Structure 1
Amino acid sequence: MKQVFVSPGFIVLLIIASAIIIKEFINPIGMYGASNWSLTYYMVELIQGAFSLSIIIVITFYTAEVEWRARNTGIVDIVDSMPVHNFIFWLSKLLAVSLIVVVLLGFGMLFTLANQLRDPNKIDPVCYVSANEVAQQWFGHQLLPANVQGSAVLSETLSQYAALQLMVNKYGETKLRQFLSSELDDYLRGRSTEYLQEMPLMRAENKAYIYYNKGSIVMMAIADRIGFDKLNKAIKGLLEKFENSNSRKATTLDLLSAIKEVADPKAHAFINQQFSDINLYNIKLLAAKWEKETSQVNLKIDAARVIADGLGNETPAVFDDVVDIVVFANDPSDFSSETVVLYRQKHRLVNGENELVIRLDGSLNDGSQPAYVGVDPFVRFIGTDVKDNVLRIKTKAEE
């Protein structure tokens, strides 16, 4: 074993394997500009991928090396003359090669553990998962849903919402963009592979991409629209109503009614859309220009909405809603740094092309300059293509 570890061939292969892992760390797979969390399963997949090729090469090379050394030293002849089974000596060779594999895997594990711990400012998936599991126990033991469509929403979706509130308090809303962008991607991928029929959130069945991924976005969108306090009050009222109820179990109709009871009537249409329909939006920035002389950003935004049925057939629908317009001093997709928001307001958009003028007179006192602008950057709408939701702002000189 000692000769193996100090041999030039092993050292070269180890360096190559390390380079493969480091390359994956530097250029992680991402979604909409948001790099993946360094979850354990992702680290395991990384080792099982390109790193496994290095292990196979090492095994192939050193299996022959061990056999060659045995023959070169005449051990084969000695083994044949000894009164023991040959498999004992073959077992020692197998153990030697296996130990090499164990050492290589341990080396890869140390690399991946170091990567998971290298940035304490990243979103902690363990914190999120723990919060979600505790919330499932909380809702599961107090709110028993009726055995009908949508029952998973009353446990899984509400648990997601509770965990997301913790993440907002811990990391801030701007960093939560990373999570919600990933949730949106998972929802769109899930509905694209649906082999039966997609249901609206209100009637979600055993489809995690609806009650988990879509549910996260919907609950955060409603909280943004009516306020976290009001939404929490609605959920608390629902729990109190059905906590000791033996006559009837809760359904998503009760949840919807509780939310609308505390919400402003102007928000009812939006809430109904999120629960009862399959709404898909396409809101994209066409142009963003900064005029320093007047301290204003000129925007062109295209907005559209369709309603899909369970089979994916889409029908154009009217878009007339308020959408977040946010101006950033740095790249909001760079989650390694703190996002600086210079302006955030909701503006009404309608079908087709919209032109807006954003004035930043009172937002630039500290010398900050607008660098990026986003339309619905915090993922309040189920967008089918969010890559063009954020644009770098151009000056007149760059046109």
Structure 2
Amino acid sequence: MQGATLLSETLSQYSALMVMKKRYGEAKMGRFLRYEMDGYLRGRAFERKQEMPLMRVEGQTYVHYNKGSVVMYALQDFLGEDTVNRALASYLKKVAFQQPPFTNSPELLAELRAVTPEHLSYLIPDFFERITLYENRALKATYTEVAGGKFEVKVTAKAHKVEANGTGTESDLKLADWVDVGVLDAEGKPLYLEKLQVTKEDVEFTALVDARPAKAGIDPLNKLIDRKPDDNTVTVEKL
């Protein structure tokens, strides 16, 4: 039935991601997740019939593998890995070795929804129940050197979120999202990374960092599904 491969393939992929995170560290996960996001964006671009939301996926590998990886990794980033594990353990306890009728994706989402705090409740419909895409982009970033060898970074950016139907028609979604804003060094490691509630398209933030900044922007590590992830950061220029 619809959503069957969310339960088998996406959750298997999530287990592999957590092993990878433990083995190589969170800082090195970005490269693989970017590969997965690119795979999802390519897959939906060549969809010949109709893209399904993750909870109703009909065997499309670009949805249950590529999108599933990005979504589940983002979910544990927002909620905490232990919290997601608690929901999965509760779900498994209820459905393991089940006889027909078998479990379905709404039952899994009920467990995830139960551990999601109210201020993040939008994540479940955005990630699983509809096709949500972001169009976040950094506009300008500057820095000045301040006392104590620190650097003050000021960033302006734009945020935009849309919902797509299965055949590509899009409509704007209201912003009330918690999104990473950050400053990166020359190796791409975060010098500053915080979640900021974004309620309008114009985004501004100031950060104080301990090393010379190289890049800065909105969702700089590409945790959300963004159609143009390359423009999420810009080079930080000295004032």
* Range class of TM-score, shorter chain: over 0.9
Q: CA deviation at 1:171?
A: 1.4
Distance (Å, rounded) in 1 between the aligned partners of 2:22 and 2:233? 24
Asked if 2 retains the 8 angstrom alpha-carbon contact of 1:177 and 1:377, the reply is no
Q: CA deviation at 1:328?
A: 1.9
- Matching residue within 107, 111, 114 for 1:258: 111
Which secondary structure state, in structure 1, belongs to the residue aligned with residue 146 of structure 2? coil
Letter aligned with residue 164 of structure 2: A
Which secondary structure state, in structure 2, belongs to the residue aligned with residue 167 of structure 1? helix
Asked if 2 retains the 8 angstrom alpha-carbon contact of 1:187 and 1:209, the reply is yes
Question: Using a 3 Å threshold, how does the CA distance of structure 1 residues 352 and 267 change in structure 2: closer, same or farther?
Answer: closer
What's 1:394 paired with? 237
- Matching residue within 134, 158, 161 for 1:302: 158
What's 2:26 paired with? 173
Letter aligned with residue 159 of structure 2: A
Distance (Å, rounded) in 2 between the aligned partners of 1:394 and 1:378? 20
Using CA pairs below 8 Å that are at least 6 residues apart, which structure has the higher relative contact order?
2
Superposed CA deviations along residues 220-256 of structure 1, whole A, max 9, x for unmatched, are 1111111100101111111111113325311110110
1:234-245 map, 5 Å: 234-245=87-98
Superposed CA deviations along residues 282-317 of structure 1, whole A, max 9, x for unmatched, are 111000000213732111010101110011001111
Q: Which segments of 5 or more consecutive residues in structure 1 lack a partner in the other structure?
A: 1-147, 333-338
Asked if 1 retains the 8 angstrom alpha-carbon contact of 2:137 and 2:217, the reply is no
Instruction: Output the TM-score relative to the length of structure 1.
Output: 0.57
Q: Percent identity?
A: 36
Distance (Å, rounded) in 1 between the aligned partners of 2:121 and 2:224? 16
Which secondary structure state, in structure 1, belongs to the residue aligned with residue 231 of structure 2? coil
1:62-211 map, 5 Å: 148-211=1-64
Distance (Å, rounded) in 2 between the aligned partners of 1:348 and 1:292? 27
Higher helix share goes to which structure? 1
Which secondary structure state, in structure 2, belongs to the residue aligned with residue 351 of structure 1? coil
Superposed CA deviations along residues 127-166 of structure 1, whole A, max 9, x for unmatched, are xxxxxxxxxxxxxxxxxxxxx1000010100011100001
CA-based RMSD of the aligned residues comes to 1.4
Distance (Å, rounded) in 2 between the aligned partners of 1:378 and 1:172? 14
Asked if 2 retains the 8 angstrom alpha-carbon contact of 1:174 and 1:378, the reply is no
Runs of at least 4 residues off by over 4 Å: none
Which secondary structure state, in structure 2, belongs to the residue aligned with residue 348 of structure 1? strand
What's 2:170 paired with? 314
What's 2:208 paired with? 359
Letter aligned with residue 193 of structure 2: R
Higher strand share goes to which structure? 2
Aligned length: 236
Letter aligned with residue 248 of structure 1: P
Which secondary structure state, in structure 1, belongs to the residue aligned with residue 161 of structure 2? strand
